[in-house]
């Protein structure tokens, strides 16, 4: 009973954070008082996407304790981001704005520590543990971290724009590798719902980051592959892809040659 209570409470907390992030609201649900894992660290064998037309996915440990702990930690960082971004001081430019800025400055470091403890795409591939529940949280963390870095680069209150841009480029390549690994492992017909908002919001931001950045171009290409696949199922994704296509066609930036075919749906039509 304690295990079910903990899983349910933290599951609702994580879901509440994701919904509040989507609608740009402050999460009103406090973190559960229950331990994330408690005394129960059991794991279970699991097969990715059991309803797939592919029947060769091996059963393996789901890494549920690690995933639950990681999601709880990431959700708590998201709460800090929401509270900082939407605080009255940061919105109105009051005297507390400096304190809010300091808090925002610390968030990339917290997210980086989380990323360092979480399996990278290369580690997952090497250990042959290519599972969505390991890739998706990393992609979510990278998306949040890159969004914060973009905000800090725009403000550049401490003259650290160049250093922050280098970090952004590294994380862009990291996210691209995660997306490419998921795509090569499961195709584009199996995209977890948690990735939908991340893919679209990231693509709409990264489209403006293309100049002199191979990492941004690599990431944007992967995001568009996922976005086009999602657009075939969800109207908001279709509208976003149309907007991105207009931006690409009207841009003077040299995009990868395959990108317009991807955005036109040619690549997914052949799969």
Buried/exposed 85-117: b ≥16 CB within 10 Å, e otherwise:
bebeebeeeeeeeeebbebbbebbebbeebbee
The verdict on 117 and 101 lying in the same domain is yes
pLDDT of residue 221: 94
Residue that is last in its domain, among 166, 186, 206:
186
The verdict on 202 and 262 lying in the same domain is yes
**132 neighbors 165 (Cβ within 8 angstroms):** no
**26 neighbors 90 (Cβ within 8 angstroms):** no
In a domain? residue 45:
no
pLDDT of residue 23: 72
In a domain? residue 215:
yes
For 233-269, write each residue's pLDDT tens digit.
889 899 999 999 888 888 888 887 788 789 876 544 5
- Lowest mean pLDDT, pick from 95-104, 170-179, 200-209: 95-104
For 92-141, write each residue's pLDDT tens digit.
444 444 444 447 888 999 999 999 999 999 998 888 877 888 999 999 99
In a domain? residue 214:
yes
Alpha-carbon span 124 to 83, nearest angstrom: 33
Q: What are phi and psi of 61, to 5 degrees?
A: -60, 135
The verdict on 102 and 180 lying in the same domain is yes
The verdict on 199 and 172 lying in the same domain is no
Record the tokens describing residue 225, joined without a space. Answer: 């592959």
Q: Which residue stretches of the chain are H helix?
A: 2-22, 64-85, 88-92, 97-117, 121-126, 132-155, 161-186, 194-206, 214-231, 235-249, 259-263, 266-269
CA nearest neighbour of 208 among 200, 197, 217, 218: 217
In a domain? residue 23:
no
The verdict on 197 and 174 lying in the same domain is no
Q: Which domain holds residue 231?
A: 191-271
Alpha-carbon span 84 to 67, nearest angstrom: 26
Judged by DSSP in three states, 231 sits in helix
pLDDT of residue 29: 75
The verdict on 120 and 206 lying in the same domain is no
In a domain? residue 248:
yes
Count of domains observed in the chain: 2
pLDDT of residue 40: 62
For 31-79, write each residue's pLDDT tens digit.
887 777 766 667 777 777 765 555 566 778 888 888 889 999 999 898 8
The verdict on 104 and 212 lying in the same domain is no
pLDDT of residue 55: 54
The verdict on 141 and 197 lying in the same domain is no
What average pLDDT does the segment 88-95 reach? 44
The verdict on 168 and 241 lying in the same domain is no
The verdict on 131 and 210 lying in the same domain is no
Confidence of residue 270 (pLDDT cuts 50, 70, 90): very low
Residue that is last in its domain, among 186, 203, 234:
186
pLDDT of residue 53: 55
Record the tokens describing residue 41, joined without a space. Answer: 């660290």
β-strand pairing of 60-61 with 45-46: antiparallel
The verdict on 152 and 217 lying in the same domain is no
pLDDT of residue 101: 47
What average pLDDT does the segment 201-208 reach? 92
**75 neighbors 14 (Cβ within 8 angstroms):** yes
Rounded to 5°, the CA angle 182-146-90 comes to: 145
**Residue-averaged pLDDT of the chain:** 82
Rounded alpha-carbon distances, angstroms, from residue 216 to 148, 175, 201: 16, 10, 14
In a domain? residue 250:
yes
Rounded alpha-carbon distances, angstroms, from residue 251 to 94, 171, 211, 216, 228: 38, 24, 11, 15, 19
The verdict on 223 and 254 lying in the same domain is yes
What average pLDDT does the segment 141-150 reach? 94
In a domain? residue 178:
yes
SS (H, E, C) 164-216: HHHHHHHHHHHHHHHHHHHHHHHCCCCCCCHHHHHHHHHHHHHCCCCCCCHHH
DSSP3 helix / strand / coil % (the chain, rounded to 5): 65, 0, 30
In a domain? residue 209:
yes
């Amino acid at each position: 009973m304690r295990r079910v209570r903990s899983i349910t409470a933290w599951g609702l907390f994580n879901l509440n954070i994701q919904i509040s992030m989507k609608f740009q609201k402050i999460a009103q649900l406090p973190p559960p008082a229950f331990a994330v894992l408690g005394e129960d660290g059991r794991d279970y064998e699991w097969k990715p996407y059991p309803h797939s037309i592919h029947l060769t996915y091996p059963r393996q440990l789901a890494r549920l304790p690690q995933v639950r702990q990681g999601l709880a930690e990431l959700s708590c960082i998201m709460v800090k981001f929401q509270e900082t971004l939407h605080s009255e001081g940061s919105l109105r430019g009051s005297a507390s704005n400096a304190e809010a800025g300091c808090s925002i400055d610390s968030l990339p470091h917290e997210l980086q520590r989380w990323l360092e403890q979480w399996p990278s795409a290369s580690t997952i591939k090497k250990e042959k543990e290519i599972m969505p529940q390991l890739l998706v949280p990393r992609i979510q963390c990278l998306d949040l971290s890159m969004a914060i870095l973009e905000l800090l680069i725009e403000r550049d209150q401490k003259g650290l724009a160049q250093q922050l841009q280098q970090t952004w480029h590294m994380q862009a390549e990291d996210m691209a590798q995660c997306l490419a690994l998921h795509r090569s492992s499961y195709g584009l017909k199996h995209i977890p719902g948690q990735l939908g908002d991340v893919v679209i919001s990231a693509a709409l931001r990264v489209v403006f980051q293309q100049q002199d950045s191979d990492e941004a171009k690599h990431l944007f290409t992967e995001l568009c592959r996922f976005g086009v696949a999602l657009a075939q199922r969800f109207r908001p994704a279709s509208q976003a892809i149309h907007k991105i296509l207009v931006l690409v066609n009207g841009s003077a930036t040299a995009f990868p040659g395959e990108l317009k075919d991807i955005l036109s749906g040619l690549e997914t039509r052949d799969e």
